[in-house]
Structure formats: structure tokens, C-alpha cells
Structure 1
Amino acid sequence: MFGMIPFEYRDHNLFNAFDNFERSFFGNSNVDLPAFRTDIRDAGDKYLLDAELPGFNKEDISLDIKDGILTISAEHNESNDQKDDNGNYIRRERRYGSFRRSFDISGIDENAISASYQNGILQLTLPKAQQVLPQSHRIAIE
């Protein structure tokens, strides 16, 4: 139990020391970019999912469903070129950004999902699947 310290990080491993030196010297290149924020509300017979995607156009966003997993992805590619009269660049800037999140949608009627995008907010309506109750019936004996 002497190795368990709940509120403090101890790093006395020789291999981690080299790894930490590399991160502090070159910067941590394995940092995950923050995914876009989502809010999910239960509205009784459906769920409402709001995803914040500011700066994206509707055409930049795709929604895919495969094996009960909904994947929201957004990709933005922008290039600003300014040239002089001779065709030489005065300024050239490029910007690229992409985000992707996946959600388990088991218990959702996949065929009735609807989506809208307005003012940087993607809103999905995810209707709950109707629970199929087992029906009972009587078998006649002949």
C-alpha cells in the first residue's frame, strides 16, 4: 500500500524521467485537442443533443451511424492567399481544424433521427425506440 498516494503524483521511474525531459524540452505533442461541447437532455419520448460547432458551415459537418454508434465529425479547411500584380505571395495563411465524437445510440430509433444547424449549434433530435412488449396468446389444444 505504500505506493498508493491518492492526491499527489509521484514520478520516480527512470524511464518516465527521460519521457518528462523530452516533453518539457520539445513540448507535449500528444496533447488531445478538446472535443466540441455537447449537452444532452431527456425530453420524455426523445433525447435532444446540442453540439457547439462555431465557425463551421453546415457542409463541413457529417453525421454517420454504424453498428449503433452515432459519429459527429466536422472538418474545416480555409486558405487565404494574397498576391501582388506579379503573382508573388504577399500573404498566405492556412487553417485546418477537425473534430470527431461518437455516441452510443442503443435504444434510439435510428430512422427517425433529425438534425438542424443554426448559429454554430448542431441540434439532434433522437427519438427513443418504442419498447416492444411481448405479446401473449393462447394455444388451442386439439
Structure 2
Amino acid sequence: MSRLTPYSPLSADPFADVFQAFLRPMRQRGDGEVPRMDIDVTENGDQYILKAELPGVDKKDIAVQIDGATVVISANKEQRSEVKEEGKVLRKERYWGQIERSVTLASPIDSSAAKAVCENGVLVLTLPKMAGSLGKTLQIE
């Protein structure tokens, strides 16, 4: 059953749904899945451990930038699929694009001591906190 939305002449853009429904088939990828990067961040004493899932991405296509307490992970992803039937190509699809995630942590990172390891499609970043960034409690006079 289709989704019904009541028409409202007071809506900011009454034709938004019409245009979105028209463009939806062009925006979707062939397999219906949008490329994504799932991440987990844990704090372990004086360091953060960030794990990013990047299945099908070669480690040479991954870049990590650290600026203070902000970590930016970007990756170029290429995916191809082909469906054949008795030697005759019926469908051939390709995807290429960039995935990017940015995380701002509570403490600045010591970028000179940070480490990155990528195995089996999982990028693991060990991000030590900057010395002296653990905070200070002030006494009120």
C-alpha cells in the first residue's frame, strides 16, 4: 500500500513530496544500500580507541586527519557488480564515491603518538590524549 499524505495548502513546500518521489529512483544505488562507515569510540584511561568499519576499502584509500580533538576519517570506495545470464550481460553497475566521518572528542589528541591499523575492513585508531588535558578543578576563593 502506498503512503498517503494529506495535502495542506499552508505547507511551506506543498510539492516537496511530489518531487522527492519523482527523483527517488535516480538517487538510490542499484542494490538499495548507501555506503556508510559505522564507528565505535571508547575511552580507556589516557587514550581513545576508535574503530571504523570499512568493508571492501583498501587501506591505501583511507586518510585520517587529527586536528586538536577532532578526528576526520575519509575513504574512497569503489564497488562493482555484474549479473550475467548464459554469457549475456543483463546488468552491470558501478559505484565510486567518498565516505567521510568526523568525530570531536572531549580531549585534544596527541597526534604524534597516535596509531592506525587496518585489518579485515576494520580501521582501529589508538588516540592518546594530550598530556595535561585531563582537566583541572579550580578552588573558588
Q: Distance in 2 between matches of 1:42 and 1:68?
A: 13
Q: Aligned pair count?
A: 115
Contact 1:35/1:101 (8 A) holds in 2: no
Q: Residue 104 of structure 1 aligns to which amino acid in structure 2?
A: T
- Structure 2 counterpart of 1:24: 21
Contact 1:108/1:127 (8 A) holds in 2: yes
Structure 1 residues 115, 10: CA separation in 2 closer, same or farther (over 3 Å shift)? farther
- Let me know the Cα RMSD of the aligned residues: 3.3
1:73-103 superposed Cα distances (whole Å, 9 cap, x missing partner): 00023679xxxxxxxxx79653313200112
- Structure 2 counterpart of 1:102: 102
Paired residue secondary structure (2:130) = coil
Q: Distance in 2 between matches of 1:75 and 1:21?
A: 33
What pairs with 1:117-128 in structure 2 (closer than 5 Å)? 117-128=118-129
TM-score by length of 1: 0.64
Q: Residue 97 of structure 1 aligns to which amino acid in structure 2?
A: G
Q: Where in structure 1 are there 5+ consecutive unaligned residues?
A: 1-8, 81-89, 135-142
Using the aligned pairs only, state the percent identity: 34
Structure 1 residues 14, 45: CA separation in 2 closer, same or farther (over 3 Å shift)? closer
Point out the structure with max Rg over C-alpha: 1
1:59-85 superposed Cα distances (whole Å, 9 cap, x missing partner): 1101123465321000023679xxxxx
